[in-house]
Amino acid sequence: MSTNEDCIFCKIIRGEIPASVVFEDDVCIAFMDIFPVKEGHCLLIPKKHYTNMFDVDPDVVAHLGRQLAELTRKVNAAFRPDGVLNIVANGSGAGQEVPHLHIHVVPRNHDDEFRFQFPKNYREKMAEREELERAARKIAEA
């Protein structure tokens, strides 16, 4: 298994630092976040070191996706929140601090103080269809 010497999550995988593991298999491991936003906040990561969605093997993502559904349902069943957030930050600009791909699973309630912070009044004007079509084409052709 290819791990990265200095990566904190690789150290967890190698058993060099402690983690509270929810489950693991050959490809991935889920463990509790050390600074939980909310009780039940956990992380799902591949065991092989990938930085984020930009370099991860698509087959690994497929496996993570299946396990993510399972983990999300389990968190929901265990804590009965109003909802559960799945979040992945890709790159520091998106808020990624640990450069080893990880998916946050965070229980959420309607009255929670934390949320995605969108710009004020961003919903005042709907986008022009032409603008959306241009953006969709740009992504499709990238």
- Give the tokens for residue 54: 């930009």
Picked from ligand AMP, Zn ion, none, the partner binding residue 98 (CB below 5 to 8 A depending on kind) is ligand AMP
Residues 46-85, mask of contacts with ligand AMP (x by CB under 6 A) = ----------------------------------------
Q: Strand, helix or coil at 73?
A: helix
Residue 42 contacts residue 24 (beta carbons within 8 Å): no
Regarding 21 and contact with ligand AMP (CB under 6 A), the answer is no
Distance CA 61, CA 91 (A): 17
Identify the active-site residue in 41, 49, 100, 102: 102
Token digits for 117? 């912070």
The amino acid occupying position 31 is F
- Return the residue of 27, 33, 52, 63 that touches ligand AMP, per CB under 6 A: 33
Pick one of Zn ion, ligand AMP, none as the site partner of residue 49 (Cβ within 5 to 8 A by kind): Zn ion
Contact (CB, 8 A) for 28 and 67: yes
Residues near Zn ion (CB under 5 A) are: 4, 7, 9-10, 49, 100
